[in-house]
Structures are given as C-alpha cells and as structure tokens.
Amino acid sequence: MAPSPKNHKVVHTKGKSHECDQCGHNFSRFQHLKTHMRIHTGEKPHECDQCGHNFRRFQHLKTHMRIHTGEKPHECDQCGHNFSRSESLKTHMRIHTGEKPYKCEQCDKTFAYKASLISHRMIHSGEKPHSCEKCGKTFRHLLSFRIHQKTHEGSKPTHEGSKPYECGQCGTAFALKSGLKLHMRVHSREKQYKCEECGEAFKLLVSLTRHQINHTGVKAYECGQCGKKFAHKDLVAVHQRVHSDERPFKCDRCDKAFKDPKSLTIHYRTHTGVKPYACEECGKTFYDPSLLRSHKKTHAGIKPYECDQCGKGFVTSQNLKSHMRVHTGERPYKCEQCGKAFTEATSLKTHVRRHTGEKPYTCDQCGKGFVTSRSLKVHMRIHTGERPYMCEQCDKTFTYLSALKCHMKRHTAVKK
C-alpha cells in the first residue's frame, strides 16, 4: 500500500511536519513553529522587569537577566574566567586553543572572531563607515570614532585632544574612562592575565594574546629591505625606520626624537620623574620596563653575558659591551670642550655638566644642587642622619665610605 501524501512529506522533512508559510522552515512541534513565527511578526512577549527589554523566547530573557544579577555560570577550565553565555565561553576558548576559524578571502589572514575579520576587510576596501558629524572625519573602527568624539567635548577643537579623565597618581590623561581604568593597573601592579608557557603576567588580555605569538616561533612579517622577520606587523614598520632613520615622534620638552611612540612615552618619564615599574623584592622603581626586567636578574643572580677576556658576568648585553672597553681601551664618547674621552655616554653627560655648571639634582631640604643623583643621595644623609658604613672592628658608623676607609687606617696603624 502506497504511503499517503501527508506521510510521504514527513519523509522529506525528517519528521518535521509543521511548516512556516512565510519562509518554508519545518519544525517537529507546533510550539516551535509558533515561537519561530515571532521572527516574522516581530512579537516579543517576554519583557525584562529591570530594564524593559523584550525578547521572542523566554530562554533569551533568562540569559539576559544575568546582566542584572551578575550570574556567570559558564567557567573556563583553562583560566577560570566566567561567562554569562555558553557562546561567550566557546568564543573565549579560542584564546587557549589558538583556533582562528574566520579567514580573509583576499590575503588569507585568519582571525579568532568574526568582528575582527569584518574590521580587517575594511583595510582592503578602504571603507570608513563611522563619520563625525562635527568635523566630517571618518573612521574605520567604532572605538576610534568614539575616542575622537570625546575630543569635541567642552567645545575644544579636535587637534587639542580633549582628555577629561586624569590619573590622580601620575597625571596621565585619557579620552575615555575605560582607558584610565586600564592605566590604573600600572600603579596597582594588577596583572590578571598569565601566560601558561612561561608564567609572565600581563595587565591586558590583548598584551597576553600578543605575547603568546612569540612562543609559536612564527614570524610572518618580513622587512623588504634586509629580510629580517618579525612576529608582529607593527614591528616591521618600526624596524624599517632603521633604514630611513625616520624619527617622527618628538619630545616637546627637549630636542630628542624617536622611531616609535612607546620609546617617546618611556623617554617622557625622564622629565616627569614617573617610575611606574617597581621591583617586588626591594621596592626599587624604574621608568622603563626593560630596566626592571634587567634589575630582577640581579636578585636571581642571573648574569648570562660573560666576558671572554676576564670571565666577569653581566646582566645585559649592553653592560658587557661597555665593559669590553676596559680591555680594548676604546673611549668613543669625547667631550667637545676639553677633548676628554669616556667609555660610556652617561659618563660624558655627567662630565659636560662640569663645564656648563648644570646641577639638575636639588636637595629639597636645603636647596643645594648636585651634578649627579648619586651625589644628592649621599648628601641627603646629612639631613636623615643615615650612617650606612660600619667598622667591623669597633662598630663605629660613618656617613661616607671615604670616612670609613680613613678610619680603618687607624686600626692597621695600631697593629703595626
């Protein structure tokens, strides 16, 4: 006996006998069809009693309510981060797996997020969909557009760059409140994103993601002039200035210029005195994170750079390079006024102050000026009463090392 037309249709629809007369979709249950129809009718019967948002399905309302309750039931088993939606957790897991399912059809570059691919495509198309109504300037990214809009606040012209959010600790200003919030981690030392490969921690997720690429060993970006390869595209642009000697980032306090904005930011701290990077072991602070990294090696006793002449070890390659001049006799830094030569640039800089009379380090107790910070530090002992040098034979203490050495001669004279 041949199957009825109704039963035959079920074979093709795989048991989904309820068909939408608007788009042809089939459903196994009438309730599912009824819910689906709200897409066409626009009906949203489930309302949030907190903010008034409406939803087609009760499950969507239930998920939405987690915004108000703060509930995040989906936890990442790799790093412990929690999410309100399972889809958000699934997307997050790509950070750990390295999965990049979205591929650009024009250059084959892959992305972990669809939004990143859409944003990337605009580079090829030249599209800048976000336009400022006040000045007509266009932007590729929504975040850049929003930051720009802040510059118009308070009737300030765009080029002045309005930055209403100021750090109370160091005075750095930001256009967005979120920028200030991220910056505050510099002072709090909060580093919640940790690399599982090497243990290094970062303040920002984007910094961790960028760092993790270094562990893969992949260097996909090559300099067209010398063939040197880099893990990140922006590093190629910075490197290429070595060939052109271009230094577009200029300090407004002195005549120094730099190849990249990061170097300018670090340099600027030499004027402001801000040292946001502190050693957790001894509390010593630094204006440059690379100096802190080198300093930490002194606590660990790590001196990977060894002199092949005398065997002395050094924390950095630059320290070894400077030391080698002791053996070679090289003194590349020469004073233009008296002709005296030095092994290090810092020694020349200090020497020049003796010609100019410059004394940049001033005592805040008595106003006396000094050529070097070391001289100021020693001078401060007069005010603090600190006597760090002790005689091992009689326990007498001294303010200066020279005074201790002079004192020690008395003990040696007595023995004779």
pLDDT, tens digit (0-9, with 9 covering 90-100), for 161-206: 467 777 777 777 777 777 787 777 667 666 777 888 777 788 777 7
Residue 156 has pLDDT above 50, yes or no: no
Cα torsion angle, 27, 31, 36, 41, sign: positive
Mean pLDDT computed over 305-331: 89
pLDDT recorded at residue 155 = 36
Short-list 158, 136, 140, CA closest to 148: 158
Mean pLDDT computed over 15-27: 83
The band of 149, judged by pLDDT with boundaries at 50, 70 and 90, is confident
Tens of pLDDT along 373-410? 888 888 888 899 999 889 988 889 988 888 888 988 88
Residue 338 has pLDDT above 90, yes or no: yes
- Residue 110's contacts (CB-CB under 8 Å, 6 or more residues apart) are 100, 101, 102, 103, 104
pLDDT recorded at residue 184 = 75
Residue 49 has pLDDT above 70, yes or no: yes
Kindly state the tokens that stand for 64: 């939405």
The band of 340, judged by pLDDT with boundaries at 50, 70 and 90, is very high
In three-state secondary structure terms, 318 is helix
Give CB contacts under 8 A, 24+ apart, made by 355-359.
none
Task: For each of the domains in the chain, give its residue range(s) and CATH number, in order of start.
Answer: 5-71 (3.30.160.60), 125-270 (3.30.160.60), 305-415 (3.30.160.60)
pLDDT recorded at residue 415 = 58
CB distance 279 to 292 below 8 Å: yes
Look at 155 and 292; give whichever has higher pLDDT: 292
CB distance 322 to 344 below 8 Å: yes
Minimum mean pLDDT range among 177-186, 207-216, 293-302: 177-186
Look at 10 and 280; give whichever has higher pLDDT: 280
